[in-house]
Amino acid sequence: MFPWSGELEIVKNTNAYTVDEVKRILQKATDLNLEMIPLVQTFGHLEWILKFEKFRAYRDDDRYPQVICLGNKKAMDLIKMAILQVVEIHLPYGISHFHIGADEAFQV
């Protein structure tokens, strides 16, 4: 689990890695010549954010917390914030690819 901060801190799991633990994992992967490909879901699979009342207005359909509304600027700003947090930690170790998910948005 990622150590989210700022506005996303409320979605951080109680057993999330610390920033230092993530950095140690990334360093070990680098030492072993393993390529780490970070992933942030950007369309579907977003119940980890959208289940929270604070972010409910960002749902594409209020009945389902899986899919974000791509036309909602605040929702997109939140996704960008998540991407930036992941990139900031991974960048010193190199990023050649970034996985944006964007699948299984069935409730659109």
- List residues with catalytic annotation: 104
Residue burial 57-73, b: 16+ Cβ < 10 Å; e: rest:
ebbbeeebbbbbbeeee
* Whether the Cβ atoms of residue 42 and residue 26 lie closer than 8 Å to each other: no
Measure Cα distances from 40 to 33, 43, 80, 83 in Å.
Answer: 22, 9, 10, 6
Structure token digits, residue 98: 């970034």
